[in-house]
Amino acid sequence: MARIKVTADQTGQQTAPVLLDESVYSVHLSTDHAARALIERLVWALGDAEEMEVARSDRDAPARTSNRIAGASAHDVRAAA
């Protein structure tokens, strides 16, 4: 039996949340409807994983805008310094 598992890339954490864990059989690809349903579940899990990774990277990233003047570009801020 084959399995599909989707987890978010959780660097530094011991256990990553499992967003999809499904046994897969050839019957899951035997009809267009079944194949689309499997792909749809996979797309949802991948989207959730990407959202978790983005949220984690946003949370872990240093505040880049705190040193910026509102509305100024990075070049403007460097030039003003």
Q: What is the pTM of this model?
A: 0.63
Q: Are 80 and 71 in contact (CB under 8 A)?
A: no
For residue 63, what pLDDT band results from cuts at 50, 70 and 90? Answer: low
DSSP string, 6-68: EE---TT-S-PPEEEEEEE-GGGGSSHHHHHHHHHHHHHHHHHHHHHHHHHHHHHS--SSTTS
pLDDT tens digits for range 21-59: 999 999 999 999 999 999 999 999 999 999 988 887 777
